[in-house]
Amino acid sequence: MPQTRPDSTIVVIGAGIIGLTSALKTQQLLSENASTRSTKVLLVAREWPTSIPGAPIHHSADYASMWAGAHVRPIPPTTPQMHREAKWLKQTVAEFKRHLESDPWVGLSQVTGVEYLGIPSPEYESQTAQSYASETGLLGYKTLPADDLPQGIHLGFEYQTYCINSPLYCGNLLRKFILQGGGTLQQDLRSEWEPYSWGSHVKAVVNASGMGFGDPKCYPIRGQIVLTNLSTATKTITAQNSDDSWSFIIPRGFNGGTIVGGTKEPGNWSVEPSTAVRGQILAAAEGIISESCNQPAGAQSVDGADIQVIKDVVGRRPARHGGMRVETEVRDGNQHVVHAYGAGGRGYEVSWGVASEVQQLVREVLSLATVKSKI
C-alpha cells in the first residue's frame, strides 16, 4: 500500500535560542501565505530545554543556551559584522518589549543594567542617551558620576535592559512552537545535509546547531559562572576591568536564582568547574553583588555563609572567527541550507534579529522552489 505523502517540511537543526526563534519565525512566515499553510516546521536536535522523548535530561556544556546568564548588553559596533549584530540586537530589544507585554510569564524581566569599564574605548566615551537609544532601542541611558565609580573604573553608565531566565525562556518558546503545530525529533545528526535524505518533502534546512559540524572557524569560549540563591539582586551589573577580567551579576527572574560570573576562556575545552575559580569569581564580584542587592558594601559575605552556591556552571559560547554566519548555501542546485550559527556570547541578545533574517532567507529559498517547480 502506498504511504501517504508527507507534508512539505522545513527542518530546523538545533533547539537552542537561535533554532527556537528561527523555528517560530519560520512558522510565522508559512502561516502568512495560503500556499504554504500546510508546510510543517520540524525541529531536530540532540539536546532540548524540556523533556522530549529520548532526549537527555542533563545538558552538556555544548548546549550553550542552558548556561547563559542572560542579559542584553550592547557593544558599540566598530566593524561591518558588529554593525550587523547591532541591528539584530535592536530588533531583539523591540521583540522582547512586545513579548514581555503579551506574555509576561515567558521568562523575560526588565531591569536596570549597569556597566563599569576600566579602560573605556572612544566609542564608549562618546555614547549619549540619544545615540544609545537609537543604536540599541534601550532607554534610560545615563553616565554615572565619577565619584561613585568603584576603584580602577574610569567610565560607568546605566540603562534599562532585559534579563532572560534562559532555560525557562527556551522551554516556553518550545511549548509555543509545539502548540502552533511544530514537530520535534530528538536526533544526533552527522551532517546538516542529512535531512535531505529523508525525502523530497524536505524543502529547506536551517543550520542553527551552535557550533555543531566542524567549521574550522568555530571555537568555544569557555565560561565558568556561579548560580547562586541570591533572590534580592535588582540590577544586572558588568565590570570589564583594566586587567581584562570580567565580573557580572545577572538576576534570572522567576525564582531562577542569580548568576555571578565569570570567565571568558577562548579555546579551553575543560568542562569541569574549578572550585578555586569559583572563589575568585565570588570574591571579585563582592562589590557588584552588594550594589545589585542594595546592601552596604561587605554586608553579604561571599565565604558561603550568606550566599548559597546552587551550581558551578561551565558552558561553551559557540564562537566563530569573523562572527556569526547567517547566509544560505546551495548544494546540487536545489538543496538549501540556511546557516545561523556561531553566536558566541551574544545568542540571546541578537536572537530575534537573526531569526528575522533567517525568515527572509527561508522566504527566498521557498520562492526559488516554487519558481523551479513551475518550470
Ligand X SMILES: *[C@@H]1O[C@H](CO)[C@@H](O)[C@H](O)[C@H]1NC(C)=O
Ligand Y SMILES: Cc1cc2nc3c(=O)[nH]c(=O)nc-3n(C[C@H](O)[C@H](O)[C@H](O)COP(=O)(O)OP(=O)(O)OC[C@H]3O[C@@H](n4cnc5c(N)ncnc54)[C@H](O)[C@@H]3O)c2cc1C
The SS3 of residue 33 is coil
Selected range binding ligand Y among 13-21, 139-147, 175-183, 196-204, rule: CB under 6 A? 13-21
Which of ligand Y, ligand X, none has residue 352 at its interface (CB below 5 to 8 Å by kind)?
none
Site for ligand X (CB under 6 A): how many residues?
A: 28
Q: How far is the CB of 352 from ligand X (least distance, A)?
A: 20
HEC-encoded secondary structure of 253-319:
CCCCCEEEECCCEECCCCCCCCHHHHHHHHHHCHHHHHHHCCCCCCCCCCCCCCCCEEEEEEEEEEE
367's CB contacts (< 8 A; 6+ apart) are none
d(CA 17, CA 349): 10
Within 274-293, which residues bind ligand X (CB under 6 A)?
Answer: 274, 277
Q: Which member of 8, 50, 187, 268 binds ligand X (CB under 6 A)?
A: 268
Nearer Cβ to ligand Y (97/154) = 97
Q: How far apart are the first and last CA of the chain?
A: 31
Within 253-312, which residues bind ligand Y (CB under 6 A)?
Answer: 262
Which of ligand Y, ligand X, none has residue 22 at its interface (CB below 5 to 8 Å by kind)?
none
Q: Listing from the earlier edge strand, what are the strands of the sheet with 335-341?
A: 183-186, 40-45, 9-13, 202-207, 335-341, 325-331
Q: Which member of 2, 53, 145, 214 binds ligand X (CB under 6 A)?
A: 214
Cell of residue 186, nine digits? 530528538
Q: Which member of 189, 282, 285, 362 binds ligand Y (CB under 6 A)?
A: 189
Q: How far is the CB of 59 from ligand Y (least distance, A)?
A: 9
Q: Which member of 212, 251, 257, 323 binds ligand Y (CB under 6 A)?
A: 212
d(CA 98, CA 86): 19
Binding marks (x or -) toward ligand X, 312..351, rule CB under 6 A? Answer: -----------------x---------x-x----------
Q: How far is the CB of 153 from ligand X (least distance, A)?
A: 25
Q: Which member of 87, 306, 335, 360 binds ligand X (CB under 6 A)?
A: 306
CA angle 267, 272, 278 (to 5 degrees): 95
Nearer Cβ to ligand Y (265/306) = 265
Nearer Cβ to ligand Y (120/323) = 323
The amino acid present at 282, given as its one-letter code, is L
Taking Cα atoms as reference points, which of 167, 177, 165, 214 lies closest to residue 12?
177
d(CA 143, CA 129): 9
- Binding of ligand Y at residue 162 (CB under 6 A)? no
Q: How far is the CB of 306 from ligand X (least distance, A)?
A: 5
Cell of residue 291, nine digits? 550594589
Taking Cα atoms as reference points, which of 39, 86, 87 lies closest to residue 365?
39
d(CA 289, CA 312): 17
Which of ligand Y, ligand X, none has residue 347 at its interface (CB below 5 to 8 Å by kind)?
ligand Y
d(CA 344, CA 82): 13
d(CA 202, CA 185): 14
The SS3 of residue 175 is helix
Which of ligand X, ligand Y, none has residue 102 at its interface (CB below 5 to 8 Å by kind)?
none
Q: Which member of 128, 231, 234, 294 binds ligand X (CB under 6 A)?
A: 231
The SS3 of residue 188 is coil
Q: Residue 39 belongs to what H/E stretch?
A: none
Q: Which member of 19, 76, 167, 353 binds ligand Y (CB under 6 A)?
A: 19
Are 204 and 11 contacting, i.e. CB atoms less than 8 angstroms apart? Answer: yes
Binding marks (x or -) toward ligand Y, 332..371, rule CB under 6 A? Answer: ---------x-xxxxxxx----------------------
Residues that bind ligand Y (CB under 6 A): 13-19, 45-47, 63-65, 67-71, 187-189, 208-210, 212, 223, 225, 262, 315, 317-318, 341, 343-349
Residues that bind ligand X (CB under 6 A): 33, 35, 192, 207, 209-215, 218, 229-231, 265, 268, 270, 274, 277, 306, 308, 329, 339, 341, 366-367, 370
